Structure 1
Amino acid sequence: MAIHAIVLALSFAIILAGSELFTNGVEWAGHRLHIAEAAVGSLFAAVGTALPETFIPAVALLSGRDTATAHTAVGLGAIVGAPLMLSTVALFVMGTAALAFRKRRGRIALRVVREDARRDLAFFFPVFLCLVIAGTFDMGPVLRHVLAVALLLVYASYSVVMLRLRRAASAEVDHGLYFESIFRGIPLEPRGWVIAAQVTAGVLAILLGAVEFVDQIVVFAAHAHLNPGVLSLILSPLATELPEKYNSVVWIRQGKDHLALANITGAMVFQSCIPVALGLAFSPWHLTNPELLAGSIALASVAILFINLRDSELGTPTLMIGGAAYAIFLIGLGYLGAF
């Protein structure tokens, strides 16, 4: 049992290390390609840090041969759990960071771009609402595959909208490319091939960690006599959303509140489309009561955030509500007898 916990922890570390490499690499790629900061946060960084949450259900759904039911449960738990974690715990962490760095920042409230944040949430909410509802009834394979293709088209349209935004002339990347230090280059003047090498290394590390993570979740759940879907619903997003939380804390400390929020809201859009498309294509998409509870709380938290994005300032009380929402989720799991 102990060895499985150790391997599970190591797989976390590999996933997070890969995400850090990928995010750092794509941020420089965005800079080199003159991509708008909103797109870097909501598209590039969000996709990069969302890769663990995507690879885990993908590996679970595609590799479950001998234990198909358990692997499907792990996959669906990770898919639904990611938006929940982003809309609750991630926002709570942002609020905590704003309070912790208030002296350094000279303020508590976050200064964000209201239009960018609301654009992301307006994409996320209706799409995820429809998919949660769809998980309550039986769908044939044809309808599921049609919905999967529709989700890919929705995300493609979102990407086009983001890539058409213009990058501000004053936008800069504050930290150097990690691999340039290894290849004895200048971190703040990275070469194109080094950026590509770092991005590739990040993807491979994330994939390696995700494969091991899925196997250990199934084994750990069996030994602990726990429901693998519920364990994945809680544990998978808690670990794999760390890159988003980590990036947002760093950006809040640096006063880049718009990037911090964009990283979270952009990841929400990604999580409501790409991983769900995988779930629709490679599983029956039958959501259990814990998963429906998670989806409902995520939607409620996003609705509160959208309503409170009235101007360019986002107060910490709105962000702190995310922590309360996640606590309600855990209480609800106990009420459902999921533990």
Structure 2
Amino acid sequence: MILDIIIVIIGISVVLAGADRLTEGASALARRLHVSEIVIGLTIVAAGTSAPELFVSLVSALKGTPDLAVGNVVGSNIMNAMLIVGCAAMVAPMVISRSTVHKDIPFAVIASVLLVLACIDGQLSWTITGHTIGRLDGVMLLVGYVLFMYYTLKHAKADDSETAQVKAQSVWLSIIYVVVGLAALVFGSDWFVGAASRIATSLGVGESVIGLTIVAGGTSLPELATSVVAARKGRSAMAIGNVIGSNVFNVLMILGVTALICPMQINGITMIDLLMTLVSVALVWFFARTRYTVARWEGGVLTAGFLGYMAWLLSQA
């Protein structure tokens, strides 16, 4: 267990270093390509930081542990919306553009609604044990992701005032920073998840709880590190874009691909967990709509809500 604890610490360190490189490279790349930072956050950064979730969910489903796959996505999305936005806002208040509030965040809300619909199998029931996310659900989710990407890329052009804030850097160096940063995020998260899961298993924690907490937390480390670093550097658009894009990617792309390859039967995930994914992103939307800013105290509310949910979850374990 001591070795696993050391691996956890190393994994976190690698993730933080990767997040710093990724933020620098993505910001510079956005300026060079004249693409807004919110779009870079919604696409390249979001897909890259969600690579651990894709790997873990797909492998978990193929190995016959669907609760780990679904729990990973559900837990990651709750953590993204509440803990990551909360921590980023407490580091530096996040200024949210009107376009993001009225057009981008609603996609994350819709993705959460589609997740609930895919899990309840058309039956309005408080108990979802035994329900299946089938191939038809997978197709529905993937179509939703294609529409999301089409809309995002259609509105990709940046304002000169936004891109002028980013320091000049060659395209190739920016790409190298992005690739190295993503690699560090993926490998660091993988080390963290493996070691933390072994520790939890040795303590007798259940599979669905591990998926909703440790695995979800580990695979969300890239989003957490990237968003906090971006917020600290004044890149609020990239921070919120990373969270929104990751939530959409997790549900529509990851669960879509996983369900298409291997339909998943739900056992340990509850309706409360699913509703939390919807409530968490709805709270972010509500806070962002007030003054187009997520203030420090609102970040504190989100973080406290997440800690309360984790306490409840562990009490049920």
Asked if these proteins are the same fold (TM beyond 0.5), I'd say yes
Counterpart residue identity of residue 44, structure 1: I
TM-score (norm 2): 0.80
Larger Rg: 1
Cα deviation, 1:19-38, whole Å, max 9, x if unaligned, reads 54445444443333222222
SS at match of 1:88: helix
Contact 1:20–1:243 (8 Å) recurs in 2 = no
SS at match of 2:158: coil
Taking the aligned partners of 1:36 and 1:316, their CA distance within structure 2 comes to 25
Question: Given the alignment of the two structures, is residue 319 of structure 1 paired with residue 299 of structure 2, yes or no?
Answer: yes
| Shift in Å, 1:15 | 4.6
Taking the aligned partners of 2:15 and 2:57, their CA distance within structure 1 comes to 14
Taking the aligned partners of 1:265 and 1:17, their CA distance within structure 2 comes to 22
Q: Give the equivalent residue in structure 2 for 1:131.
A: 115
Shift of the 244–203 alpha-carbon distance from structure 1 to 2, 3 Å rule, reads closer
Taking the aligned partners of 2:174 and 2:268, their CA distance within structure 1 comes to 42
Q: Give the equivalent residue in structure 2 for 1:230.
A: 209
Contact 1:27–1:173 (8 Å) recurs in 2 = no
Taking the aligned partners of 2:228 and 2:8, their CA distance within structure 1 comes to 25
Q: Superposition pairs for residues 249-328 of structure 1, below 5 Å?
A: 249-281=228-260, 282-289=262-269, 292-308=271-287, 309-328=289-308
Shift of the 209–283 alpha-carbon distance from structure 1 to 2, 3 Å rule, reads farther
Shift of the 191–124 alpha-carbon distance from structure 1 to 2, 3 Å rule, reads closer
Q: Superposition pairs for residues 208-219 of structure 1, below 5 Å?
A: 208-209=187-188, 211-219=190-198
Identity %: 22
Residues matched between the structures, number: 306
Q: Give the equivalent residue in structure 2 for 1:114.
A: 98
SS at match of 2:89: helix
TM-score (norm 1): 0.76
Taking the aligned partners of 1:279 and 1:76, their CA distance within structure 2 comes to 10
Contact 2:38–2:240 (8 Å) recurs in 1 = no
Question: Given the alignment of the two structures, is residue 167 of structure 1 paired with residue 158 of structure 2, yes or no?
Answer: yes
Taking the aligned partners of 1:202 and 1:157, their CA distance within structure 2 comes to 28
Shift of the 215–315 alpha-carbon distance from structure 1 to 2, 3 Å rule, reads closer
| Shift in Å, 1:93 | 0.8
Ranges in structure 1 where 5+ consecutive residues have no aligned partner: 99-108, 177-187
Ranges in structure 2 where 5+ consecutive residues have no aligned partner: 120-127
Counterpart residue identity of residue 10, structure 1: I
CA RMSD in angstroms comes to 3.1
